[in-house]
Amino acid sequence: MSIETLVQQADLSSTAFNKENFDEVVMSTYGRFPIALEKGAGCRLWDTEGKEYLDFVAGIATCTLGHAHPAMIEAVTQQIQKIHHVSNLYYIPEQGELARWIVDNSCADKVFFCNSGAEANEAAIKLARKYAHTVLDIDNPIILTANASFHGRTLATITATGQPKYQKNFNPLVPGFNYVPYNDIDAVEAAIGELDEGNYAVGAIMLEPLQGEGGIRPGDVKYFQKLRSICDETGILLIFDEVQVGMGRSGKLWGYENLGIEPDVLTSAKGLGGGVPIGAMMTKKFCNVLQAGEHASTFGGNPFACAVATTVCHTLEKENILQNVCDRGEQLREGLRNIAAKYPQHIAEVRGWGLINGMELQADIQLNAIDVVKAAMSEGLLLVPAGAKVVRFVPPLIVTEAEVNTALQIIDKVMTQMKG
């Protein structure tokens, strides 16, 4: 059954939803928009009042194959009837199959599975610290991360995140992190020199190939290639957080492929499971230092999540989805740049890779990303901010030419309204 057929056959009957009942029992850790989504098919979503939306959020770059994809439905149905969870005290064939696909299709040699991007980054941080202690002989290793980065919401990963707003009121933070400007190689070299004092030294550098939450900022090729050379010369581990940009979203399977280098360690989550929770920390053989008992996850690598993720991976290949990402990404950026040319007083820049793109608003105007997002939502298009001034476009990777055109028409209409 095709996605088009799924959309046509979608059950559009809605159910009653009470926001007050929800808020009474669910913690208010999210600033939620005032709609409740209950059905999806392809790149379309419907709320509890029956209104249809074009989804350019995809669970924030997570629903790789959109909603109710036939391949995922089949994988979920088959696996839940077979076995859904056992302990990692036993061999799990589905886990091995997914790990083999990742190793065969990346620069990694080994994989550790968990349940989210933050967990994957936690695993990478632990690996980096042990490597620094046992291989680099650093008593107090420091991990460099970038200003405006985002690596998760756990205590260690908000410390790694170079944005003070995420750290407020959660001190004392985890020691052993230092921040440098993104795409600034001089700052990296200076930090490595300044922090190498006594029993302190930089043991790892952890970066996003493209900063997502920091405003959709692609990495500079020359910067990253020089960074790779520095790490090769010093023995410092290079870690890439590919939670948002990996799994085909950039038009390449992995973000690092856009930069012409390979990291020593990389992390994935979001799009890996297509919306089913899974995370992965992947490493090259030489820095595979974690041993039995040093890291673990009850749910990590369970048969259910791994079977679905493997299906997502195979579907990317089978349906040639990376080509669609490149084509639709070019179409989207060209369209957004045409809109930006019509409204130069409002739009400063359009940038991105593949189907992770940002439209930055002018800094000196009152209009913010959230204003555009709310106006687009009222017109039936779901978007999400990436900071105060950047509107983020991260649709499912199966988005069609017609759907991109519809999104562009809505953005043009919204900007016309904002101009007025």
Please pick, among 150, 224, 304, 393, the residue that the annotation labels catalytic: 150
What pLDDT score does 308 carry?
A: 98
Please pick, among 130, 252, 270, 389, the residue that the annotation labels catalytic: 270
Q: What is the DSSP string of 192-205?
A: HHHH-BTTEEEEEE
Which residue in the block uniquely carries the two structure tokens 């002989």? 137
What whole-number distance in Å separates Cα of residue 360 and Cα of residue 372? 11
What whole-number distance in Å separates Cα of residue 132 and Cα of residue 128? 6
Question: What is the DSSP secondary structure assignment for residue 161, as one 8-state letter?
Answer: S
Question: What does the angle CA 280 – CA 281 – CA 282 come to, to the nearest 5 degrees?
Answer: 110
Q: Which CATH architecture has domain 74-318?
A: 3-Layer(aba) Sandwich (3.40)
Question: What is the DSSP secondary structure assignment for residue 315, as one 8-state letter?
Answer: H
Please pick, among 39, 130, 241, 252, the residue that the annotation labels catalytic: 241
What pLDDT score does 172 carry?
A: 97
Burial bucket for residue 1 (CB in 10 Å: 0-12, 13-18, 19+): exposed
What pLDDT score does 65 carry?
A: 98
User: How do the domains of the chain map onto residue ranges?
Assistant: 3-62+320-419, 74-318
**Amino acid code (one letter) for 166:** Y
pLDDT in tens, the chain (420 residues): 565 665 566 565 667 899 999 999 999 999 999 999 999 999 999 999 999 999 999 999 999 999 999 999 999 999 999 999 999 999 999 999 999 999 999 999 999 999 999 999 999 999 999 999 999 999 999 999 999 999 999 999 999 999 999 999 999 999 999 999 999 999 999 999 999 999 999 999 999 999 999 999 999 999 999 999 999 999 999 999 999 999 999 999 999 999 999 999 999 999 999 999 999 999 999 999 999 999 999 999 999 999 999 999 999 999 999 999 999 999 999 999 999 999 999 999 999 999 999 999 999 999 999 999 999 999 999 999 999 999 999 999 999 999 999 999 999 999 999 876
230-263: string of b/e by CB count within 10 Å (b at 16+)?
bbeeeebbbbbbbbbbbbbbbbbbbbbbbbebbb
Residue 266 has, within 13 A of its CA and on its CB side, a CA count of 26
241 is catalytic: yes
H helical segments located in 214-364: 221-234, 303-318, 321-342
CATH of domain 3-62+320-419: 3.90.1150.10
What whole-number distance in Å separates Cα of residue 38 and Cα of residue 50? 9
Q: Which two tokens stand for residue 298?
A: 């009850």
